[in-house]
Amino acid sequence: MRVLVAEDHARVADAVARGLRRTGVAVDVAPDGEQALYKARVNPYDVVVLDRDLPALHGDEVCRTLNAEQPGTKVLMLTAAGGLDDMVEGLALGADDYLTKPFRFAELVARVDALGRRSGRVRPSVLRHGDLELDPARHVATRGGRTLDLSPKEFGVLQELLAADGQVVTTEGLLERVWDENVDPFTNTVRMVLVTLRRKLGEPGVIETVRGAGYRI
C-alpha cells in the first residue's frame, strides 16, 4: 500500500511517516496543499492522510480536487477541530474518514489500513496462498502456523505478491507500491529483498521469477 501524508508540521509528518513505514507501507510526505495535490497527480496513492489546515492550498480544496479527479484514492482528514459540525463538513467535502488531533497512532494505522482495503484495488482482509497467510491489519505473516520475522519491505513485497493472486508483478510495480518517491529506480533493492524474503519463507519456494517480466506467487 502507498500513502501520502500531507502535513505542514514537520515533526508530526515525520512521526506518522516513520510509524507507517514500520508497518510495511510506502509513504511520501507533502508539507503543503500544492505539493500534496501535485504528488497525488503523479503517484498512485491508496490513501492520503490530509491535514485540513494546510498552507499554500487549503486541505479542503485538496480534498475536493482528489474526490473529483481520483475517487479511488481514499482521504483520511486530520484536524484539530473535533466538533460534530466540523466532522460533518469534512466528510461532506469528500473525505472518507476523519480523525481529530491529538490522536493515538494505533488508531491512525487501523484507519489507514481500513481505507486501503476500500481503495480502488479490492483486497481481502487476510491474504492466503496454501499454508502462507498475511494479515495486513495485524501486520503478521505466517507459514504453516509459524510466524515469519519479516522486515517492513519484505512484508510489503509479500503483501503485493499475494494481493496479485498469481498475476505477475513487475519490479517497477513493486518499487511503486512498496518504496517511496526517493527510491533510485535503477537500484537492485527489490532483488535483494526478494533474496532474503525467499530465504525466510523457506521450502518449498512460493515466489517465482518470470524472466523479463517480474515475480509472482
- DSSP H helices, 29-71, are 33-42, 59-69
Look up cell 519490479; give the residue: 171
Look up cell 488531533; give the residue: 101
Q: What is the pLDDT of residues 190-211, one digit of tens each?
A: 999 999 999 999 999 999 999 9
Decide which of 206 and 92 is more confident.
206
Q: Are strands 26-30 and 146-147 parallel, antiparallel or unpaired?
A: unpaired
Domain 2-117, CATH among 3.40.50.2300, 1.20.59.10, 1.20.810.10, 3.40.50.150: 3.40.50.2300
- Which ranges in the chain are annotated with CATH 3.40.50.2300? 2-117
DSSP 8-state code for residue 81:
-
CATH number, span 127-216: 1.10.10.10
Beta strands in 56-181 (DSSP E): 74-79, 97-100, 127-129, 132-135, 140-143, 146-147
Q: Provide the whole-model pTM.
A: 0.68
Q: What is the pLDDT of residues 7-52, one digit of tens each?
A: 999 999 999 998 888 887 889 999 999 999 999 998 889 999 999 8
Question: Quick check: 205 and 198 in contact, CB under 8 A?
Answer: yes
- Which ranges in the chain are annotated with CATH 1.10.10.10? 127-216
